[in-house]
């Protein structure tokens, strides 16, 4: 692989990682699912959940987001290792919010990712979530009464 192609691949994978975060935050579950290969997987071992294929991934993300009263995810770039039409990588996550049951969560975690080049661009073939820190101290703030839903 030449240096220019490697650079293009890295930019496209970073765009994929940003796109999935935006899709989750905007509750666009169809878009989330479209960012995975048809046989892709997302695994959340900390709650013993696994979703296989786009249909399960879509339903799983919708289920998970339905548990939150409000949710915010910040993603920080991590490593990407490209090997032809596949790649592996990690992103570092900070999430916080309040669940509908009233519990609060501040998580620091990682996503261990596998990517696949497809005719439609890079897609996730697998995401595995690993929680490194969890603080369940009750949050004292609240979301604004009318959350903005800006569109890009």
Q: Mean pLDDT over residues 41-49, rounded?
A: 97
| Position 149 confidence tier, pLDDT thresholds 50, 70, 90 | low
Across the chain, mean pLDDT equals 94
pLDDT digits (tens, 9 = 90+) for 58-106: 999 999 999 999 899 999 999 999 999 999 999 999 999 999 999 999 9
Percentage of the chain modeled with pLDDT above 70: 95
Measure Cα distances from 32 to 57, 101, 131 in Å.
Answer: 8, 25, 21
72: closest CA among 104, 95, 103?
95
CATH of domain 3-135: 3.10.450.50
């Amino acid at each position: 692989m030449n240096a220019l192609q490697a650079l293009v691949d890295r930019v496209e994978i970073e765009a994929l990682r940003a796109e999935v975060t935006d899709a989750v935050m905007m509750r666009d579950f169809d878009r989330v699912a479209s960012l995975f290969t048809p046989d892709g997987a997302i695994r959340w071992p900390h709650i013993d959940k696994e979703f296989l294929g786009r249909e399960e991934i879509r339903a799983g993300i919708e289920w998970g987001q339905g548990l939150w009263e409000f949710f915010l995810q910040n993603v920080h770039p991590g490593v990407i290792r490209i090997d032809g039409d596949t790649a592996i990588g990690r992103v570092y996550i900070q999430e916080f919010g309040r669940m509908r049951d009233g519990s609060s969560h501040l998580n620091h975690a990682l996503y261990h990712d596998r990517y696949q080049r497809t005719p439609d661009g890079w897609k996730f073939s697998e995401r595995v979530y690993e929680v490194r820190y969890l603080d369940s101290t009750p949050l004292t703030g609240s979301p604004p009464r009318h959350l903005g839903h800006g569109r890009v």
